[in-house]
A and B are shown apart, each in its own frame.
Chain A
């Protein structure tokens, strides 16, 4: 689960990490008020979206002007003006080409820093370990280093105890920090580690950190939380922001399913995302391409399945539906029951091909063939794709 910069900074601050003074604002008036309350001019106003590279982004709306999602402003009048330009607009960045709606902005005091560096912690999947990454970003920014000069990034696997003083000193040297800053740097990365562990984070990134008044300060912060660990952190549940999710995605999530929309016209109901990717590779037609995918993995209740199927069946972009279930955990007959319930409620206006394999397959086929619904049965993924292409093409 992605959280916003201001939320990440608040969490880091409770672990002793130094951050600029700042406040969140939902309206231009609020932005102006919080600006005058936190500091003198100038200020930085920052769009709060779940994406990095905001300073390299642009807004889709013409009212927003040409400037990016992070702006330095010198007067309260300009705080108001830029806040009105950013709020309610869509910010596109190199990390989020589809753009994100901006519902809130963070207003911060401007802090000049002596030095810029990158610090992060993430999961090294193949080594099954937390890893700390550090780089000097005075000359090249981190996107450039990550793409072209990865040898300039320090990598340190972190054990349960977190980084120790020697390791901190080693990294501080790599970053060319003054020796007298080492205790503060140690405290800083310990705070990062504690934040990471105590919140079940998957990624914590400070890009950049800097030095102001002889102290290390986090000028930006990103945290991704592990949804599987959220049950341990009820406080973090309130950080969830669905602003940029479509109603269908939110609805599907309510039933424990995942839903994704692509540009095409084929609706797919599968159990497991891998299956939809395999289907995509098998489609070979100018008239059919992958549209919306509902993944019912783990769904084991007839009503939930029906509700999920309705999400796809009621999508006007869908010209045909393939239900492709390879049941292990999931029982095929439950899916068949769900199809019947969904068809009774929303009707079946487009061709539907169903393919079942695995647990309770025969029962499922029996339910559907005796349902009186115009369902085309298929006996393999390839066969299902061939049949739906034919049906969609015939349907015009």
Chain B
């Protein structure tokens, strides 16, 4: 097993009959992903893109035993879709859906923790292991197999980071988008841990953003971890990003207002290589 999944991982698509889900599920199938079924309530019993469609995840589990689920359902339906698949025994969810209410995410994270399940996203481009499997909406043609793990909070910059890896003549062990919602499932700490456990990964490219302190939490973990793999990080945004805040609560929660400079300093102190421009990533990779 590489980063959480490989070519054999059995995949379920929740909301498979929708336009976007169909478009991307077809591409994943062409890429070689082992999609075993889909779920769309009311369309059970039919077949779509050559895989069976079920009304419920429970039924899908009994018949096809999926191990991971990719969610394409509307944001308002994500909470119940997560509940349903976790209850059926799925341990890995990739939530492509956007517009998930933050309050729902708080509940979802509790459900996941109680059931020892993981969710990537919401609002994520997903997870791809080049030449093995694609769970999500990544433009698969830009990826090439290799040993650099890529993790990003910004969806579009994930692709930019992948291109930087290619530019240095290297490839990716796995690419994971965390999504840039206020509350997310998998965070940097977990992603960095997984890349450190993964034998196929020798170094990591990390794309952070202003807003919140997910990057700092990742850096804190990294600082205290002994067998460090090199991490190269770019932080998107500056002090004008998210500058408009009403009230003081957010600054208090993060224990002070986090400036762009402070964020970068914190990361550097943990041993992470921080670049100022995204096109410096390939140069730093070449130096490793």
Q: Do A and B come from the same complex?
A: yes
B15 → A minimal CB distance (Å): 14
A232 to B201, CA, bound (A): 43
B97 → A minimal CB distance (Å): 11
A228 to B108, CA, bound (A): 15
With A128-B105, A272-B154 known as contacts, the answer to whether A203 contacts B180 (CB < 8 A) is no
CB-defined interface of A245-286 with B at 8 Å, one 1/0 digit per residue?
A: 000000000000000001000000011111101101110000
A11 in the interface (beta carbon within 8 A): no
Residues of the A chain whose Cβ atoms lie less than 8 Å from the Cβ of B20? 300, 329
State whether B157 touches A275 (Cβ < 8 A). Answer: yes
State whether A231 touches B76 (Cβ < 8 A). Answer: yes
Our pick among B159, B207, B249 for the contact of A121 (Cβ within 8 Å) is: B249
With A133-B252, A143-B248 known as contacts, the answer to whether A125 contacts B106 (CB < 8 A) is no
With A202-B182, A270-B156, A272-B155 known as contacts, the answer to whether A126 contacts B247 (CB < 8 A) is no
Give the interface segment out of B30-38, B53-61, B275-283. B275-283
Residues of the A chain whose Cβ atoms lie less than 8 Å from the Cβ of B62? none
- Chain A's interface size range is 35 or more
Residues of the A chain whose Cβ atoms lie less than 8 Å from the Cβ of B182? 123, 125, 202
CB-defined interface of A96-131 with B at 8 Å, one 1/0 digit per residue?
A: 100000000000000000000010111111101111
A147 to B279, CA, bound (A): 35
A366 → B minimal CB distance (Å): 15
- Chain B's interface size range is 35 or more
Give the interface segment out of B1-9, B87-95, B211-219. B211-219
State whether A275 touches B255 (Cβ < 8 A). Answer: no
State whether A272 touches B139 (Cβ < 8 A). Answer: no
A109 to B81, CA, bound (A): 49
With A129-B106, A131-B253 known as contacts, the answer to whether A328 contacts B139 (CB < 8 A) is yes
A357 to B75, CA, bound (A): 27
With A128-B109, A146-B252 known as contacts, the answer to whether A123 contacts B154 (CB < 8 A) is no
State whether A50 touches B246 (Cβ < 8 A). Answer: yes
A78 in the interface (beta carbon within 8 A): no
Residues of the B chain whose Cβ atoms lie less than 8 Å from the Cβ of A270? 156
Q: For chain A, what secondary structure do more than half of its interface residues adopt (helix, strand, loop), or is it mixed?
A: mixed
> Which residues of chain B from 118 to 141 have any CB-CB distance to chain A below 8 Å in the complex?
125, 136-139, 141
Residues of the A chain whose Cβ atoms lie less than 8 Å from the Cβ of B105? 128
Our pick among B75, B207, B247 for the contact of A222 (Cβ within 8 Å) is: B247
B265 in the interface (beta carbon within 8 A): no
B98 in the interface (beta carbon within 8 A): yes
A229 in the interface (beta carbon within 8 A): yes
Residue of B nearest to A382 (CB): B279
B183 in the interface (beta carbon within 8 A): yes
A128 to B245, CA, bound (A): 20
Residue of B nearest to A2 (CB): B246
State whether B137 touches A126 (Cβ < 8 A). Answer: no
Our pick among B96, B98, B236, B279 for the contact of A274 (Cβ within 8 Å) is: B236
A386 → B minimal CB distance (Å): 11
B151 → A minimal CB distance (Å): 13
CB-defined interface of A36-59 with B at 8 Å, one 1/0 digit per residue?
A: 000000000000001110000000
Our pick among A50, A121, A123, A224 for the contact of B183 (Cβ within 8 Å) is: A123
Residues of the A chain whose Cβ atoms lie less than 8 Å from the Cβ of B157? 272, 274-275, 278
Residue of A nearest to B234 (CB): A278
A155 to B252, CA, bound (A): 9
Other contacts beyond A147-B251, A228-B100: 9, CB < 8 A: A52-B247, A95-B244, A133-B252, A146-B251, A202-B182, A205-B249, A298-B98, A328-B137, A380-B279
**Would you give 27 A-B contacts (Cβ < 8 Å), ordered by A?**
A52-B246, A95-B247, A120-B249, A121-B249, A123-B183, A126-B212, A126-B217, A146-B257, A153-B252, A200-B103, A203-B247, A205-B246, A205-B247, A226-B103, A228-B75, A229-B103, A272-B154, A272-B157, A274-B237, A277-B241, A278-B277, A300-B20, A326-B156, A326-B159, A329-B20, A329-B137, A358-B142
Q: Which 6 pairs between the two chains have the least Cβ-Cβ distance?
A: A274-B154, A358-B139, A272-B156, A229-B101, A122-B249, A277-B236
